[in-house]
C-alpha cells in the first residue's frame, strides 16, 4: 500500500484529504507543520513514504523550507498545496524541487488524479520496491543514455539522479530528438492536464534537467531552448 504524508496546519483540510486518499486505498500520515514532516522523512517511517502533500504557509516551519531540506536526501514526489495568491511561492517551490501543485480550494477529483500520476511515475522509476522489467529499451543522444526498462539515465557512463517529472520530460524530448516541443505540448504529455501557466512550470523543470545532464547549463550542448517556440534535445 502506498503511503502519503499530508502536511497542513488546517485540520479540516487534512481530514478532508485523508478521506479522499483513504477511499483510494492509500495509507495516510498526518502532520501540521514542516518540521513534523521533515522529522518523519528523516526517520524509519519516512522510508515508506511514497508522496508528500505539503502546504506552503505553516507555523514552526513552512513548506518551502521543509521541502528544501527533504530534497537533500530524497527524490520522493512533492505536491504543494497553495492558495491562489501564492504564485511567487509556487515558482519558488518548483525551483527548489516540487513536482506539482494544487490550488486551494481544490477539486477532489483533480487532487486524486495528480496524486495517482505522481505515484505512478515514482513507482515506475524504481524508487520503490516494484520489480524492474527484464530487457532494455534504450535511447541515446550523444553522451546521454536513457534506459526506460531500468528507468535509469546516464551521462557519459555516470548515472544521473532525476525526479519522476524530470525523467518523463527528458524521455519525451529524447523520443522526439531534434523536434521542437512547446511548453504546452510538454506539459500536456507529462502532466496529462490542460496547460494553464505551463511555460513557467516547464521552464523550471527544464532548468533542473540541464543542471544534471549538461556540464555547462548556461551553454547547453543537448537540451536547448528555441526562443518563442519551446525546447528540443539534440546531439
Helix, strand, or coil (residue 94): helix
Helix, strand, or coil (residue 230): strand
| CATH code assigned to 138-233 | 1.10.10.10
Per-residue pLDDT of the chain (235 residues), as tens digits, is 789 999 999 999 999 999 999 999 999 999 999 999 999 999 988 889 999 999 999 999 999 999 989 988 888 899 999 886 667 777 778 877 888 888 888 888 889 988 988 888 787 665 443 333 444 478 998 899 999 888 889 998 889 988 888 999 999 999 999 999 999 999 888 887 776 666 788 888 999 999 999 988 888 999 999 988 999 998 7
Assign domain 3-124 to its CATH architecture: 3-Layer(aba) Sandwich (3.40)
- State how beta strands 49-55 and 78-83 pair: parallel
Q: Where in the chain is the domain with CATH 1.10.10.10?
A: 138-233
pTM tops 0.75: no
| Secondary structure element (H or E) that encloses residue 140, with its range | strand 138-141
CA angle 46, 50, 56 (to 5 degrees): 80
Q: Where in the chain is the domain with CATH 3.40.50.2300?
A: 3-124
Amino acid at each position: 500500500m502506498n503511503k502519503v504524508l499530508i502536511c497542513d496546519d488546517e485540520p479540516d483540510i487534512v481530514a478532508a484529504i485523508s478521506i479522499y486518499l483513504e477511499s483510494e486505498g492509500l495509507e495516510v500520515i498526518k502532520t501540521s507543520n514542516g518540521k513534523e514532516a521533515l522529522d518523519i522523512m528523516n526517520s524509519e517511517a519516512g522510508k515508506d513514504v511514497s508522496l508528500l502533500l505539503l502546504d506552503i504557509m505553516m507555523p514552526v516551519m513552512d513548506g518551502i523550507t521543509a521541502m528544501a531540506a527533504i530534497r537533500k536526501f530524497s527524490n520522493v514526489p512533492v505536491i504543494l498545496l497553495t492558495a491562489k495568491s501564492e504564485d511567487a511561492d509556487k515558482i519558488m517551490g518548483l525551483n527548489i524541487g516540487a513536482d506539482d501543485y494544487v490550488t486551494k480550494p481544490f477539486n477532489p477529483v483533480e487532487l486524486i488524479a495528480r496524486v495517482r500520476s505522481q505515484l505512478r511515475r515514482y513507482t515506475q522509476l524504481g524508487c520503490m520496491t516494484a520489480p524492474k522489467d527484464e530487457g532494455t529499451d534504450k535511447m541515446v543522444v550523444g553522451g546521454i543514455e536513457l534506459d526506460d526498462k531500468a528507468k535509469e539515465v546516464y551521462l557519459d557512463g555516470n548515472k544521473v539522479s532525476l525526479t519522476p517529472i524530470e525523467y518523463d520530460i527528458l524521455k519525451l524530448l529524447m523520443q522526439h530528438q531534434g523536434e521542437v516541443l512547446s511548453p504546452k505540448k510538454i506539459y500536456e504529455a507529462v502532466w496529462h492536464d490542460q496547460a494553464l501557466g505551463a511555460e513557467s512550470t516547464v521552464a523550471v523543470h527544464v532548468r533542473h534537467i540541464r543542471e544534471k545532464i549538461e556540464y555547462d547549463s548556461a551553454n547547453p550542448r543537448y537540451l536547448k531552448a528555441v526562443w518563442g517556440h519551446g525546447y528540443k534535445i539534440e546531439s
